Structure 1
């Protein structure tokens, strides 16, 4: 692999212009890209701009972002964050996405009413099910990758390490520790691994606790889970969090179908 160019990370200033976009501030900065809040001055809409760090921009690095852009542009579902536009501007790869209100990680710092929580659970499963229906494994399910939009509704984002699946994906163990199935950490991810990760996320949304390795049931927060959810839904969650992949739902579509049968009574309204 070619050596990466040691170029400075661009610090786009507030009110500066980048093509048709006017930068309004930084939303987040990661190891590989910076996310900006910007105004599309032609469409008069605010967007989130994802710009890979140019000092890492060798051919392999940029190709990974181009694959992400193509995948995000190809999805069309209300619970998936699709790409609005991607282009090179001033030698920078710029990926424009709809701008949400906040991430689910931020939203979880405040109390969520039971009615909204029920909607969020269904949105999470709908978005992931839409990917699985196209034989795509997300591989990085976590609160930061769900974006809150007015409604409120959630959209699943960040397909940076999503992979096309056949039966099972022989991946490299990519993902986020704390929201990763045991077999995914060993490089054997599948749609069932995403089911496990979404189970961890739903448990966190309801109880405030993320089950930890070795993932024995019941996990920390079980008393709160019993106060907030009915036995039928708890049984679904337990199945999603089984450490043996073959005992879980085969994919998010199966999990969603089972959830919809209990949706109206899944949570105990207070």
Structure 2
């Protein structure tokens, strides 16, 4: 059961529900001390257990470790009036919301760079996000993108034996079978970039060419298409080894992608 508007939890006053998932509800709330609005992530009371609280504490500790301009930082994590509360900065919208309208090539390139910077930073810490999707990317003023929700992230050794956690439709095939790796996040990033460019969400069995491919060919540099295709290879070993590798190649391609887009517009 959701908390009602105007309910007070310590210094926070609930204003409205932002989203509700299987394990937690996210609220917009007013911080009465700082005078700012924040997002509060609170596990559902009916399913709260020692195991679940341990997972949320791990999420809080993980988020506190990650200091990067494209990763949502943790404001607070504490037990308030019997609720375990994670307080986070409040974004303007999610990337999923933004995808409801068309993106310019320059905006796609900007968001792609920021997504890659965030996941590459996590991968350098040997952290697999495991749930890279537009709903977990928040947009702030100035088109700043920040990745959030490391709740089911795995700290990698070589390959983590998971349990198929993640969001169906966004997962790499091997992750769906319980074998996530850094390359699984690469696959999810490739899906998002493809969607931003084509307006189509690719689905299993991910047979190339994917839906919307002709539109992609009409606006995108061939090497950028090859970069996307490599990230979406069904064989993990043929993908980029991690988001850091993916990012380095993207930065080399970036000026050519933008120049190609400019020339295409002028010749149209």
TM-score (structure 1 length as normaliser): 0.94
Structure 1 or 2: more helix by fraction: 2
The size of the alignment, in residue pairs, is 261
**Structure 1 residue aligned with 2:49:** 58
Q: For structure 2, which runs of at least 5 residues remain unmatched after alignment?
A: none
2:249 aligned with 1:258? yes
Deviation at 1:228, TM superposition (A): 2.2
**Structure 2 residue aligned with 1:37:** 28
Deviation at 1:80, TM superposition (A): 0.6
Structure 1 CA distance, aligned partners of 2:206 and 2:101? 26
Structure 2 CA distance, aligned partners of 1:266 and 1:123? 16
**Structure 2 residue aligned with 1:17:** 8
**Structure 2 residue aligned with 1:186:** 177
**Structure 1 residue aligned with 2:61:** 70
Secondary structure of 1:97's aligned partner: strand
Misfit runs of 4+, over 4 Å: none
Show the 5 A alignment for 1:201-240.
201-240=192-231
**Structure 1 residue aligned with 2:120:** 129
2:252 aligned with 1:249? no
Structure 1 CA distance, aligned partners of 2:144 and 2:197? 17
- Confirm or deny: 8 A CA contact 1:119 1:153 kept in the other structure: no
2:100 aligned with 1:109? yes
**Structure 2 residue aligned with 1:171:** 162
Q: For structure 1, which runs of at least 5 residues remain unmatched after alignment?
A: 1-8
Deviation at 1:211, TM superposition (A): 1.9
- Confirm or deny: 8 A CA contact 1:200 1:241 kept in the other structure: yes
Secondary structure of 2:86's aligned partner: strand
- Confirm or deny: 8 A CA contact 1:74 1:82 kept in the other structure: no
Deviation at 1:251, TM superposition (A): 0.2
- Confirm or deny: 8 A CA contact 2:19 2:27 kept in the other structure: yes
Structure 1 CA distance, aligned partners of 2:55 and 2:123? 20
2:76 aligned with 1:96? no
Cα deviation code 1:6-50 (max 9, x no counterpart): xxx3x3222232111111111011111110001111111111000
Secondary structure of 1:174's aligned partner: coil
- Confirm or deny: 8 A CA contact 2:105 2:197 kept in the other structure: no
Cα deviation code 1:158-212 (max 9, x no counterpart): 1111000011111111111111111111111100111011101110111111222
Structure 1 CA distance, aligned partners of 2:107 and 2:39? 24
- Confirm or deny: 8 A CA contact 1:124 1:155 kept in the other structure: yes
**Structure 2 residue aligned with 1:4:** none
**Structure 2 residue aligned with 1:6:** none
**Structure 2 residue aligned with 1:141:** 132
Cα deviation code 1:40-93 (max 9, x no counterpart): 111111110001011111111111111111111111001111211011110100
Deviation at 1:217, TM superposition (A): 1.4
- Confirm or deny: 8 A CA contact 2:103 2:197 kept in the other structure: no
**Structure 1 residue aligned with 2:74:** 83
Deviation at 1:265, TM superposition (A): 2.6
